Amino acid sequence: MNVLELKDVTKKYGEFVAVEGVCLEIEEGKILSLLGPSGCGKSTTLRMIAGFTTPNSGTVAIAGENVDHLKPYERNVGLLFQDYALFPHMTVEQNVAYGLRYRGTPKPMIPSRVQQMLSLVRMLGMEARYPSQLSGGQQQRVALARALATDPQIVLLDEPLSALDAKLRLELRIELKEILRSVGATTIVVTHDQEEALSLGDEVVVMHAGKVIQRGSPIEIYKAPADKFVAEFVGRSNWFCATRRGRSSGDLSSYITSNGIEIRTRSAPTDRRGSADLCIRPEHIELMDVTQGVVSDEPDQNLLEGVVVDVAPLGADVHVVVDLPGETRLQVIRKNVGRIPTVVPGQPVRLCFAASDVLVFPT
Ligand code: ATP
């Protein structure tokens, strides 16, 4: 069953269209990440679901019922919004109990529910503290406990981890997912951080300029981006402007970049004769020393030669920048494990990547 259904929802501010014709549904118990750059309409979409913002057109239904006429507090949603911080004059306990009181939970039941929620977010023992006496991560945990306390039909999280430093952000991200799963919460989480979106969501919805561009599993979004925007926004990428030269063999196509480099691709259905933007992920490129024997020229592989200009060992990965002829610069990412021969700046190298790993976006 769909817990939430947005049908053709549009929001304008004056002439400016912040959200345009958005359709969205989410199944019970699923986590959906709403991903996109700043200003693309993510928060506005969430605020329309919560009832803080009224759409100009379209409908919002929660658990099969149209909620367009309901005020925010009449909708059974749990909120963790940036501008909906913990109440500073209330203790942790009072903050978590707030929604329960508001919703008319029988008084004797409130303390045990608060304890249950604080246990869930590992904040037992902190009941009497005020938000100012908590770290950023602890405040977010309490805010999550408050959002979940009323057992809402849908949980809306707007950039829940953005105020935290990188290490805590990662820790809390894993914890957040565990907690949401353990209570089976149907959740929409808004983020502009692709890693966060891909790791938290069962599904990811990518928005751009007020519209939904693509919806899919995290792996689909990364492997088969719907357009150039999604390919650029999710994951790292190297780009070539190229013109199709023809079919090289079987279902392979051959392109020539503006710098005269031949790139083979798998032919896409839309892959007609013409110009295209080609994208290759840095992690799909193999690096070899030019002295590493003779390499056979397989038709479904691309084999290029270049010179290393920079090597940056970044913990688990090594980022290598390689210059190809014609002022083309490529990023390559290798896993930082012992068996990979280290390359150094100035070293001539061969680059190899499969035709099937090249993403083709006809222009
Ligand atoms: P961010 O990640 O920066 O929060 P977002 O994707 O959540 O961005 P929204 O906050 O939904 O974006 O805003 C979408 C667009 O609507 C932006 O261009 C914003 O400036 C505009 N906007 C949002 N609220 C209002 C408002 N109350 N009045 C006028 N314009 C608004």
Residue 107 C-alpha to ligand 1 middle, in angstroms? 39
Residue 17 C-alpha to ligand 1 middle, in angstroms? 10
Residue 342 C-alpha to ligand 1 middle, in angstroms? 46
Residue 21 C-alpha to ligand 1 middle, in angstroms? 16
User: Using H for helix, E for strand and C for coil, what is the string for the chain?
Assistant: CEEEEEEEEEEEECCEEEEEEEEEEEECCCEEEEECCCCCCHHHHHHHHHCCCCCCEEEEEECCEECCCCCHHHCCEEEECCCCCCCCCCCHHHHHHHHHHHCCCCHHHHHHHHHHHHHHCCCCCCCCCCHHHCCHHHHHHHHHHHHHCCCCCEEEEECCCCCCCHHHHHHHHHHHHHHHHHHCCCEEEEECCHHHHHHHCCEEEEEECCEEEEEECHHHHHHCCCCHHHHHHCCCCEEEEEEEEEEEECCEEEEEECCCCEEEEECCCCCCCCEEEEEECHHHCEEEECCCCCCCCCCCEEEEEEEEEEEEEECCEEEEEEEECCCEEEEEEEECCCCCCCCCCCCEEEEEEEHHHCEEEEC
From 22, 44, 84, the mutation candidate for ligand 1 (largest count of ligand atoms within 8 A of CB) is 44
pLDDT of the chain, 363 residues: tens digit per residue: 789 999 999 999 999 999 999 999 999 999 999 999 999 999 999 999 999 999 999 999 999 999 999 999 889 899 998 766 899 999 999 999 998 998 888 999 999 999 999 999 989 999 999 999 999 889 989 999 999 999 999 999 999 888 788 888 888 899 899 999 999 999 999 999 999 999 999 999 999 999 999 999 999 999 999 999 999 999 999 999 999 887 666 788 899 998 889 999 987 656 676 899 999 999 999 988 877 766 677 888 999 999 999 999 888 888 999 999 888 899 999 887 665 557 889 999 999 999 999 999 988
From 20, 22, 40, 190, the mutation candidate for ligand 1 (largest count of ligand atoms within 8 A of CB) is 40
> What is the residue with the minimal CA distance to atom 27 of ligand 1?
13
> What is the residue with the minimal CA distance to atom 24 of ligand 1?
44
Please name the amino acid found at residue 334: R
Global pTM value: 0.89
- Do residues 53 and 130 lie in contact, with contact meaning Cβ atoms separated by under 8 Å? no
Residue 43 C-alpha to ligand 1 middle, in angstroms? 7
- Do residues 127 and 92 lie in contact, with contact meaning Cβ atoms separated by under 8 Å? yes
Residue 127 C-alpha to ligand 1 middle, in angstroms? 35
Work out which ligand 1 atom sits closest to the CA atom of 45. Answer: 11
Residue 41 C-alpha to ligand 1 middle, in angstroms? 6
> What is the residue with the minimal CA distance to atom 5 of ligand 1?
39
Residue 60 C-alpha to ligand 1 middle, in angstroms? 19
Work out which ligand 1 atom sits closest to the CA atom of 43. Answer: 7
Please name the amino acid found at residue 282: P
Nearest Cα neighbor of 93 from 56, 135, 121 is 121
**Binding pocket residue ranges, ligand 1, CB within 6 Å:** 13, 18, 36, 38-44, 192
